[in-house]
Amino acid sequence: MLKVAIIGVGTRGVKCFGNMLKNRKDCKIAALMDTNPVRLRLAAELYDNPPTYTDLNEMLEKESLDCAIITTPDAEHESCAVTVLNHGVNVLIDKPLATSAKGCQNIIDAMKKSGKVAMMGFNLRHHPVLKKMKELIDEGVLGKIFLMENREFYDGGRTYMSRWNGRKSYSGGLWNHKGSHDFDIFNWFLNFPKPVKVAAFSGMNVFRPENIPFELEDGIPVGPRCRDCHYLKNGVCKAGFQEEFEEWGDEAVKHDGYIKDSCMYMSDLSTHDNGFAMVEYENGARVSHMECFVCGMSDRIYTIAGDKATAQISLHNRSIRITDRWEKSSMTYEIADTDGGHGGADPKLLDDFLATVRGERENKSTLEQGMISTSIAEAAELSKEENRVVFLRK
């Protein structure tokens, strides 16, 4: 029975990891840690009240833990992961590893000193469609891959634009927070060649005060929170949160002022709502990742070109279509749904981590790989800010 702690009991910590751990027979939630005591208390009630802590060092000193799962906002990953590893505890760090390459390196240094398992939470690698695609690539079905693109559409953009995710100081920017998933899939498909050049074009075209998509009534401002907003209540605003947005309610908000439903048009966002990021690798392969947070659908759509065949993928349709270059024939794989979050990927990520901690599997989702995707994301942010191509150091 592995004793597991969750650090950061927000949406991901509870709705994903807490709920999965609760139903497993091979481990138990041994402790919870969060800087907000209200979220902590309410989360503990869901799991038969394990010990709770607002201080990470205190938890690590008092509890004898096998592993910890870090699901704090991205900017806190570095200090939490270093502290956990310095206490000799195995750790799963949800993506992205950190908000800078330097931060990633600090975690890697702590991991090396500790000799413990430290794994990246790259759940997309466990998505059945992408897993199947990786198998086909490794079998050589596409031949040598030289070009890839993906287009990510995110319905409504709310999670990213209404809370910390859209603020660079918390997430390192959306190329890191969101794109680190996608850059990792490219790196994984290509078997991790070194990225050498990054260029990004991105901006905030829509979620600005001047783009509010309805007429304001005299003297009645929008927001600031969806739940208080006159225009949402009147059904004029279609963009905001219609449902419950803070799982822990106002009591938690009162404690730290962290709200999850600030108006997307009026927020002090410091990131993009759309853009392209391109990467060139030392083996000559090129990739492009598009992010669009202003749309009425959610999907990741890929094209992967190899010298033998081309693949087209839709995660939403759970399909892979391979077209042979010479025969012009096509083969379509329809991949069945599996249970669990993110298309069935989340339970497989947890299985993988626990099996690796037990020594039953090799760690194939390493911090070094996490650092590569954050380095690409950091370069994409720099490219956009400085309006130039960024060359990554060898």
Smaller CB separation from ligand NAD, 72 or 310:
72
Query: What is the nearest approach in angstroms of ligand NAD to the Cβ of residue 36?
Result: 4
Smaller CB separation from ligand NAD, 43 or 108:
43
Residue 385, judged by CB atoms within 10 A of its CB (0-12, 13-18, 19+), counts as exposed
The crossing angle, in degrees rounded to 10, of helices 367-386 and 179-189 is 120
Smaller CB separation from ligand NAD, 142 or 174:
174
Smaller CB separation from ligand NAD, 71 or 150:
71
d(CA 249, CA 390): 43
Query: What is the nearest approach in angstroms of ligand NAD to the Cβ of residue 245?
Result: 10
Query: What is the nearest approach in angstroms of ligand NAD to the Cβ of residue 93?
Result: 8
Give contact residues for ligand NAD (rule: CB under 6 A): 7-13, 33-36, 39, 71-74, 76, 80, 94-95, 121, 123, 177, 342
Which residue lies nearest ligand NAD, judged by its C-beta? 10
Cα distance from N-terminal residue to C-terminal residue, the chain: 43
- DSSP letter assigned to residue 140: T
The alpha-helical segments, DSSP class H, found in 47-123 are 56-62, 77-86, 101-114
**Residue partners of 95: CB distance under 8 A and separation at least 6:** 120, 121, 122, 123, 180, 181, 184, 370, 373
Report the DSSP pairing between strands 319-324 and 118-121: unpaired
Query: What is the nearest approach in angstroms of ligand NAD to the Cβ of residue 258?
Result: 6
CA angle, corner 174, sides to 171 and 178, nearest 5? 95
d(CA 270, CA 169): 9
Query: What is the nearest approach in angstroms of ligand NAD to the Cβ of residue 352?
Result: 13
Smaller CB separation from ligand NAD, 155 or 282:
155
Smaller CB separation from ligand NAD, 83 or 310:
83
Query: What is the nearest approach in angstroms of ligand NAD to the Cβ of residue 174?
Result: 11
Whether the CB-CB separation of 202 and 274 falls below 8 Å is answered with yes
Query: What is the nearest approach in angstroms of ligand NAD to the Cβ of residue 83?
Result: 10
Look at residue 81 and give its three-state secondary structure.
helix
Smaller CB separation from ligand NAD, 7 or 81:
7
Smaller CB separation from ligand NAD, 306 or 347:
347
Query: What is the nearest approach in angstroms of ligand NAD to the Cβ of residue 316?
Result: 16
The sign of the torsion formed by the CA atoms of 124, 366, 383, 149 equals negative
Two tokens, residue 359? 């020594």
